[in-house]
Chains A and B, each alone.
Chain A
Amino acid sequence: AQSVTQPDIHITVSEGASLELRCNYSYGATPYLFWYVQSPGQGLQLLLKYFSGDTLVQGIKGFEAEFKRSQSSFNLRKPSVHWSDAAEYFCAVGLFTGGGNKLTFGTGTQLKVEL
């Protein structure tokens, strides 16, 4: 079965600093990979996705992520963090089965931004 590990439960960065959130997955085939963001008490918003092709993918709000097959990783990055980026971030791997598209989520990384 597929699994996703987000090793950092909490991360604090200063506004304007760069950010990298780690995500490692376990999956037997080429995965579909996603990053979602969640503000307190809200649903999830898709930041970016990887299905195939270019391993560096661009998303909304200035985020990017790089798929590294050799490291089973899909880390999320942003060059300069804004205070509004404070939220919880979830990495997910998608498995398409005969029954549909199932997502397995990591446990999330809570981002705090210091002004």
Chain B
Amino acid sequence: DGGITQSPKYLFRKEGQNVTLSCEQNLNHDAMYWYRQDPGQGLRLIYYSQIVNDFQKGDIAEGYSVSREKKESFPLTVTSAQKNPTAFYLCASSISGRGSKNIQYFGAGTRLSVL
């Protein structure tokens, strides 16, 4: 089945630790996105990538880093610089370019908590 797989479903971070969230898609999409969701705040864009080896900061990139070495993978690292990492993280993908087929499809999310 085609889709977006996020792992792990639950993740715990200790103080001063970096953690990496995985996002893999087999939809052959060029574009991938990371969002953070907090209660009552909707989704906010962290980073996005339109093509392999290229990515751009979103609205809340501080304390996060990404890489895009393969088309199907877009891992997100939550660094120790992110002082409030507890949230639900959602990965999405889409085709690139304008038009009515440019729809973002979402994974099931990773819930990150601080120990």
Interface residues of A (CB under 8 A from B): 4, 9, 32, 34, 36, 41-46, 49, 51-52, 90, 94, 96, 99-103, 105-108
Contacts and interface: CB of A to CB of B under 8 A. Distances in A.
Contact of B109 (A4, A42, A52, A101): A42
Contact of B42 (A34, A41, A96, A105): A105
Which DSSP category, helix, strand, loop or mixed, fits chain A's interface?
Answer: strand
Contact of A51 (B48, B100, B104): B100
A101 B42 contact: no
B41 A101 contact: no
B108 A42 contact: yes
6 contacts: A44-B43, A90-B42, A100-B31, A100-B50, A101-B104, A108-B42
Nearest to A52: B100
Interface in B27-79: 31, 33, 40-45, 48, 50, 56, 58
Interface residues of B, number: 30
B21 interface: no
Given A43-B108, A46-B105, A94-B102, A106 B42 contact: yes
Contact of A99 (B41, B50, B90, B94): B50
Given A42-B108, A43-B109, A49 B40 contact: no
Given A42-B108, A44-B90, A103 B45 contact: yes
Contacts of A90: 42-43
Given A44-B90, A108-B42, A102 B48 contact: yes
B2 interface: no
A107 B41 contact: yes
A50 to B, nearest CB: 9
Interface string B92-115: 101010111011111111010000
B107 to A, nearest CB: 5
B30 to A, nearest CB: 9
Contacts of A99: 48, 50, 56
